[in-house]
């Protein structure tokens, strides 16, 4: 039986990495790597494989893997190296998401500071409640 072309087979919750069961930490790392790869690929496609071999100082099989999306064996460091060789200035953006602040304690000489877990309030992420003691 054929299904209609526009029939949904799976409803996502907005983030495919969450839907696939990755932890938030793994999802963040994978998303960063994917965005970095996309930036490298955008510039790399302007060159032939022979030119990329010279620019990236990599043999043809590695260049082919890069151009064909086989980046599972490529580290973020290697992708950053490629970005630099291609003249891409890499900039990272860090934004705090709404997560639970975990119990933590920091020991300073002659001081002990502890942070107790509290859930963020609805609304602004910048207004995360924390209780700091020890000052």
Asked whether residue 35 is assigned to any structural domain, the reply reads yes
Let me know whether 112 and 80 are in one domain. no
133: phi then psi, degrees, rounded to nearest 5: -125, 160
Indicate the angle between helix axes 60-67 and 24-44, nearest 10 degrees: 110
111 and 50: one domain?
Answer: no
Count up the domains in the chain and report the number. Answer: 2
Q: What is the pLDDT of residue 119?
A: 52
Q: Are 33 and 76 in contact (CB under 8 A)?
A: yes
Residues 21 and 57 in one domain: yes
Q: Is 59 helix (H, G, I), strand (E, B) or coil?
A: coil
**Domain contains 5:** no
Does 7 map to a domain? no
Give the residue among 59, 54, 124, 64 at the shortest CA–CA distance from 95. Answer: 124
What is d(CA 103, CA 115) in angstroms, rounded to the nearest whole number?
6
Percent of the chain, pLDDT > 90? 39
What domain range is 109 assigned to? 104-133
Q: Which residue has the higher pLDDT, 106 or 124?
A: 106
φ, ψ of residue 112 in degrees (nearest 5): -130, 125
Q: What global pTM score does this model have?
A: 0.60
| Measured CA angle at 41 (ends 97, 69), to 5 deg | 85
Confidence of residue 43 (pLDDT cuts 50, 70, 90): very high
Residues 62 and 112 in one domain: no
Per this entry, what is the length of the chain?
135
What CATH number should be reported for the domain holding residue 24? 1.10.260.40
* Span 57-91, pLDDT tens digits: 999 999 999 999 998 889 999 999 999 999 998 88
Largest CA distance in the chain: 73
């Amino acid at each position: 039986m054929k299904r209609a072309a526009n029939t949904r087979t799976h409803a996502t919750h907005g983030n495919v990495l969450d839907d696939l069961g990755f932890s938030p930490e793994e999802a963040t790392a994978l998303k960063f790597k994917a965005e970095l790869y996309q930036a490298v690929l955008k510039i790399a496609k302007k060159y032939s494989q022979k030119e990329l071999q010279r620019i990236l100082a990599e043999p043809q099989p590695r260049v082919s893997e890069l151009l064909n999306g086989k980046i599972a064996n490529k580290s973020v460091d290697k992708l950053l190296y490629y970005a630099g060789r291609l003249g891409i200035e890499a900039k990272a953006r860090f934004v705090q998401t709404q997560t639970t602040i975990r119990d933590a304690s920091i020991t300073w000489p002659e001081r002990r500071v502890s942070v107790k877990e509290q859930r963020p309030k609805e609304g602004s992420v910048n207004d995360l409640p924390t209780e700091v003691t020890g000052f």
